[in-house]
């Protein structure tokens, strides 16, 4: 009887183990090599779409390569079906240019067809495209639309130039005279065929989104981290995707859905993600002063809410076999963006203490320790401040990326 019970117990353990496979065990041949977090366009501030047919060309930088790529298009916030008549992808020539590398243009198909209509609220993957690409290559993705979307799905602050050209062909070698905008539109990701690569997702607010950096220079801390990974033989099989949104809060909707509301769409549904780095919470703390009088009870609710929210992120990611690395919140003392007094810093310190000591995360990266002024630790170091005492400068972002131990990210053998 005891022997039979032991066999049943072992069988049950086997069922449990196979029912919850790790991210590596679930990974297929496709991995996300570039992505962006999406929001709805503001109805009174639509992108500068031309009237009538036009081509939208967008440039992105891959963080992994492979022999084939495919597009992840999004109509997540659309109020009507999104019609795309044609799509092309090519290698981009240089930064801040709509020109493509001669001979690299490829037609994109959807279930074998040139065009696609994406239902409102939906995401659509293209067919695989035979375009060999390397990590850190730039791709130009061209979409031909018959008319502007009803409500565009976009990333508001791409810090990368996109091009809108009325009446142009999607395979045009260049788009001289095109209207420029610093947004990504209807494009949520690029995936590459490479079963050896795993993706690291960086999840957060404007500090992950790169506020304080210039356009077309790839200076966000996830950009610099991707370059570090590719420069080291131990970590070249890792891609980095950016799920940061300016102004984002973990607990509350604002100019974008809350972090808890968008986690699945912007991170967990992207293929190949095995590690999640979380840097979010400063806007939850700071924005409290915009919501009426700041009381001890409200402050405690935000601190406890962040702790509970982090636990939710961890549990949901762990349920898919994704490792979660927490990062401490950077100092923001003195900023005029929102409350930044001693009470706000005390709340930040309380949250950071929990991040460092709770053991809830699989690992912790102490961005606070890296970026704070040693004399006034409630503030950023002067050389790491972009000028608003909240967002890092390019030097600050480089310091953050340099503080990430590559041994922490290197695939386990």
For the residues 275-301, what does the mean pLDDT come to? Answer: 96
pLDDT at position 22 is: 59
Q: Are strands 179-181 and 138-145 parallel, antiparallel or unpaired?
A: unpaired
Handedness of CA 162, 169, 37, 32 (dihedral sign): negative
pLDDT at position 137 is: 98
Q: Is the Cβ–Cβ distance between 151 and 72 less than 8 Å?
A: no
**Closest among 31, 249, 49 to 148, alpha carbons compared:** 49
Query: Which token pair is 206?
Result: 């404007």
pLDDT band at 411 (very low <50, low <70, confident <90, very high): confident
pTM assigned to the model: 0.93
Beta bridge partners of residue 309, listed in sequence order: none
How far apart are the C-alpha atoms of 337 and 385, rounded to whole Å?
14
Q: Judge whether residue 3 has pLDDT over 80.
A: no
Q: Judge whether residue 95 has pLDDT over 90.
A: no
How far apart are the C-alpha atoms of 1 and 5, rounded to whole Å?
6
Q: Is the Cβ–Cβ distance between 113 and 65 less than 8 Å?
A: no
pLDDT at position 10 is: 31
Express each pLDDT in 227-282 by its tens digit: 999 999 999 999 999 999 999 999 999 999 999 999 999 999 999 999 999 999 99
For the residues 151-155, what does the mean pLDDT come to? Answer: 96
pLDDT at position 97 is: 94
Comparing 26 with 78, the larger pLDDT belongs to: 78
How far apart are the C-alpha atoms of 250 and 142, rounded to whole Å?
33
How far apart are the C-alpha atoms of 165 and 315, rounded to whole Å?
45
Query: Which token pair is 345?
Result: 């810093």
Beta bridge partners of residue 66, listed in sequence order: 133
Q: Which class for 28: exposed (0-12), middle (13-18), buried (19 or more C-beta within 10 A)?
A: exposed
pLDDT at position 44 is: 86
Half-sphere exposure of residue 407: CA atoms within 13 angstroms, side-chain side: 0
How far apart are the C-alpha atoms of 34 and 72, rounded to whole Å?
10
Residues 6+ apart with CB under 8 A from 236: 135, 229, 230
Express each pLDDT in 366-397 by its tens digit: 999 999 999 999 999 999 999 999 999 999 99
Q: Judge whether residue 13 has pLDDT over 50.
A: no
């Amino acid at each position: 009887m005891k022997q039979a019970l032991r066999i049943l117990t072992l069988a049950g353990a086997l069922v449990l183990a196979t029912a919850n496979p790790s991210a590596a065990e679930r990974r297929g041949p496709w991995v996300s090599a570039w992505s962006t977090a999406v929001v709805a366009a503001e109805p009174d501030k639509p992108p500068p779409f031309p009237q009538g047919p036009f081509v939208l060309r967008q440039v992105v930088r891959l963080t992994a390569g492979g022999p084939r790529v495919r597009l992840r298009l999004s109509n997540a916030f659309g109020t009507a079906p999104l019609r795309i008549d044609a799509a092309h992808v090519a290698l981009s020539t240089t930064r801040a240019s709509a020109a493509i590398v001669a001979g690299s243009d490829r037609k994109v198909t959807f279930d074998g067809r040139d065009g696609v209509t994406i239902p409102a609220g939906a995401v659509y993957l293209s067919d695989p495209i035979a375009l060999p690409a390397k990590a850190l290559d730039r791709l130009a993705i061209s979409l031909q639309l018959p008319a502007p979307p009803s409500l565009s799905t976009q990333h508001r602050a791409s810090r990368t130039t996109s091009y809108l050209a009325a009446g142009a062909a999607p395979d045009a070698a260049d788009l001289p005279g095109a209207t420029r905008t610093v947004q990504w539109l209807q494009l949520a990701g690029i995936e590459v065929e490479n079963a050896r690569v795993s993706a690291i997702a960086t999840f957060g607010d404007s500090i992950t989104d790169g506020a304080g950096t210039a356009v077309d220079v790839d200076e966000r801390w996830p950009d610099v981290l991707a370059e570090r990974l590719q420069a080291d033989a131990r970590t070249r099989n890792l891609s980095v995707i950016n799920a940061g949104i300016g102004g984002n809060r973990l607990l509350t909707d604002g100019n974008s859905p809350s972090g808890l509301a968008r986690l699945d769409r912007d991170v967990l549904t992207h293929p190949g993600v095995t590690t999640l780095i979380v840097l979010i919470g400063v806007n939850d703390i700071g924005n409290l002063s915009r919501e009426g009088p700041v009381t001890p009870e409200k402050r405690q609710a935000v601190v406890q809410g962040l702790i509970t929210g982090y636990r939710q992120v961890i549990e949901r990611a762990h349920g898919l076999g994704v490792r979660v690395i927490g990062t401490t919140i950077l100092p923001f003392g003195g900023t005029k963006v929102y409350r930044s007094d001693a009470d706000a810093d005390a709340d930040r310190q309380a949250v950071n203490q929990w991040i460092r000591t709770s053991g809830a995360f699989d690992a912790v990266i102490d961005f606070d320790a890296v970026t704070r002024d040693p004399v006034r630790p409630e503030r950023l170091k002067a050389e790491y401040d972009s000028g608003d005492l909240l967002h890092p400068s390019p030097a600050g972002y480089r310091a953050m990326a340099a503080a990430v131990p590559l041994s922490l990210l290197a695939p386990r053998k």
